[in-house]
Amino acid sequence: MDPGEGDEIAQAVTQSGEQILEVVGDMTTIINSVEWEGPDDDGCEEEWNSFIGGPLSNLVEALQQKGKELTQHAEEQEQESNNG
């Protein structure tokens, strides 16, 4: 692996997670700003919060972890190249 390319990919993966968080923040603001009362409103908010606290949170966490792993692999490759 080219360490520079590995670093670029790691940054792209990490940035993807950050972009998802930004979009989710925007959507949460929109969902919370809707003037809607009653059980349907409560249900919608509960579903949204469950989604962002569950599957979406897991996705962002996985992207961040993968970005860290790729960065580590790139650093290891660069060390090997410098030692060899």
Q: pLDDT per residue over 13-53, tens digit each?
A: 999 999 999 999 898 888 888 888 888 878 888 888 888 88
Per-residue confidence (pLDDT) for residue 4, from 0 to 100: 86
CATH class of 3-83: mainly alpha
Give the long-range contacts of residues 3-7, CB within 8 A, separation 24 or more.
3/74, 3/75, 3/77, 3/78, 3/81, 4/74, 5/74, 6/70, 6/71, 6/73, 6/74, 6/77, 7/70, 7/71, 7/74
Rounded Cα–Cα distance for residues 68 and 84 (Å): 24
Domain positions in the chain? 3-83
